Chain A
Amino acid sequence: MIIKINKNKFDKFFKILKGNYDVFAPIGDGMNSKFSRVKSIKEINLDISNTDKSPKEIFFPQTEILFNFESQKINLNAEKNKSFAVWGMRPCDAKSLTLIDKIFGSAKQKPNDENFEDPYWKSKYDDALIFSIGCNTPASTCFCNWFESGPFEKIGSDIFVVNTDEYYLMEAVSEKGKVFLKKVTDFEKGIKKDEEKITELKKRAESYLKKSVDLKALDNVIEEIWGNPVWDELSNKCINCGACTFICPTCHCFDIQDEGKEKAGKRIRLWDSCMFPDFTGEASGHNPRLLSKDRFRQRFMHKFKYFPDNNDDYLCTGCGRCIYVCPVNVDIREVVEKIVKCES
């Protein structure tokens, strides 16, 4: 069932949403757009195709206090917030959260394995209501179609929204979504014409995407590719900054640090990047990934080999942020294409 919200009545819908949830939405224009808490619909900017910073930071902030300590006392940082709702997330970003969830909230996938549950992630992600919005005009850097996904992908979404000229057409995807949409009563219901509109928009959006690379071919070569000289060539221009990993919606590696004064302090978790030499630096001084090439290779091997080995999915959703942000134009698509062409 589709619920149809006229854009000039969106304020009313937003009030209902805000009454139940702490609402996040894309804000900012030009530079530094990101997902942030919003108070009114005026702040929201849905014209941004992909925010500069990915919405992973809502659930997995760059710095997160794990606990505070004072002398012998430890205060766990376990405040329970109002549940989050995220309005206007792109399908690729919604999907990326399900990938991180495979790591931090693994109990959902592996019911008997509770060892790897991350309470900080779970407390935010599990109750969150995610509205993902179909991309009517994917950018030229988008390549979500590589991953059996697309601009109207519903994975990871609780309520899927289609943005037409006049309306937001909403459809519940998950149980949580259904429960919420039941609360939204006095809006129009969608008719057959709306469903046709959705199919039309979807078709048009998909036509903007370039042809996908055959990732099966990648799987065949990647086993053998590790020692291949192709990495030298590919990594030559990489300067090993962490921009790509920090704006990536799926990168989730972190570091843990203690910060404090004499007797009190806090233990924090912060994003780390496999691009930094420190990431693998050992206490002895030895660094197994000393060279730029080693670190460069790790980033792609993690996304296309190690993560899929463990979790049956690529650690990339094709959002294209890293392509745009890279100061030296390392293009993840080109890297994959070159690896595929490589004879092992």
Chain B
Amino acid sequence: MVKELQKKVRELFEDKKVDMVVGWGKGSVPMSATPLFIKSIDEVDDLIFDETCQNNLAVYFTKDKRKLSKDGKKVGVIVKGCDDRSLVLYSIEKQIKRDDIVIIGVPCDGVIDKNKILRKTNNREVIEYNCDEKKVKVKGRDFELTLDKKDVLSDSCLTCSYPDAQVYDEFIGKARKKVDCKDEFKKVDDFEKLSLDERWNAITEEYSKCIRCYACRNVCPSCYCTKCFVDTNKPQWIGKSPEITDSIIFHLIRNLHVAGRCVECGACARACPVGIDLLLLNKKITKEINQRFDYTAGLDIDEKPVMTTYCENEKQDFIMG
């Protein structure tokens, strides 16, 4: 598959259809890949795609990186299903011109969450890593482990309904449409069954780990405000220290800012250096939006995002009668 991908990218360069391609290369440590910016045909050989390619590359088209697709340059970008939804979102929100970007879809079977693997190895370092369709083999200095791949897949991939790009220019292989995903909201449903106090305690325990490094915000393709509300100081809305209520407010507001725009790529949760389960709140919002407005972010390039539109006669059971 990687060979086909490289061949396709090479062709695009030869046909002068792209000036640059954003993809993944091999990372410097086991179980990791790194974003790769390919500017010429000689660099195409560095391109890879496998279950370690966890970054959402759409992020490189906004924020400080906006310059990438400027000056009428054609940029190719290699996408998984979720990354593609981010690009669709960008296109709807006029962050990119669809015509300036060549979307190259690759078939995705989920990406691994290296923190899950480290939990299984008791935090002992992994030096060698191998993965086939079902099993993941890891080796350290004094241990060897074989794990089920589904046990170490990122949470977001376990509940993914659109593993492949839906809007694309090229696709390596055949793109799947929606796949059935049972129990998409199981975690949310289970959490809802807890009592109010249990939920509050669980949330405070989880978010008290936050060190406010903003890795979640910065890897998030949907989070691209020029100035984030936590960075404003006139007025300064929330404290900058990792005090629990400040941290919770930061995360809640971030979740609300990406409500109906979150493509559930899970990049935030994988980027978190202290391993907070960041997807839970996003998933809850997605559930509400799915049920109430029957909307899924980043699928239809012509549909308005759910929070920027309205319906006059929609249900308003949450408003006092």
Contacts and interface: CB of A to CB of B under 8 A. Distances in A.
Contacts of A334: 28
A329 B28 CA distance: 7
Contact of B123 (A30, A63, A141, A291): A30
A255 B271 CA distance: 24
Nearest to A259: B239
A132 interface: no
Contacts of A38: none
B273 A247 contact: yes
B215 A241 contact: yes
Interface stretch (A11-19, A45-53, A110-118): A45-53
Most buried by A among B30, B35, B215: B215
A255 B273 contact: no
B32 interface: yes
A325 B28 CA distance: 12
A98 B125 CA distance: 27
Contacts of A292: 63-65
Interface string B7-25: 0000000000000000000
A270 B29 contact: no
A141 B267 CA distance: 23
Given A31-B119, A292-B64, A241 B271 contact: yes
Contact of B241 (A47, A242, A246, A257): A257
Given A31-B275, A53-B211, A259-B239, A237 B118 contact: no
B242 A31 contact: no
B304 interface: no
Interface in B80-125: 115, 118-119, 122-125
Interface size class of A (residues with CB under 8 A): 35 or more
Interface in A205-256: 236-237, 239-243, 245-247, 255
A276 B231 contact: yes
B75 interface: no
B5 interface: no
Interface of A is mostly: loop
Given A31-B274, A137-B141, A242-B213, A329 B241 contact: no
B191 interface: no
A278 B60 CA distance: 21
A21 B307 CA distance: 56
Contacts of A137: 141-142
A273 B213 contact: yes
B55 interface: yes
Interface size class of B (residues with CB under 8 A): 35 or more
B211 A246 contact: yes
B271 A47 contact: no
Given A29-B122, A31-B115, A63 B219 contact: no
B123 A240 contact: no
Given A259-B239, A324-B29, A327-B219, A30 B115 contact: yes
Contacts of B125: 49, 139-141
A301 interface: no
B34 interface: yes
B250 to A, nearest CB: 13
Contact of B55 (A47, A48, A276, A328): A328
Nearest to B120: A30
A38 B37 CA distance: 47
B122 A30 contact: yes
Most buried by B among A242, A324, A328, A333: A328
Contacts of B35: 236-237, 328-329
Contacts of A270: 240-241
A32 interface: yes
A320 B27 CA distance: 14
A328 B213 contact: no
B217 interface: yes
A329 B118 contact: no
Contacts of B37: 236-237
B287 interface: no
The 5 closest A-B CB pairs, nearest first, are A31-B275, A327-B271, A241-B215, A329-B34, A292-B64
12 contacts: A29-B123, A31-B275, A33-B123, A47-B123, A53-B274, A137-B141, A237-B34, A239-B65, A240-B218, A241-B218, A242-B214, A334-B28
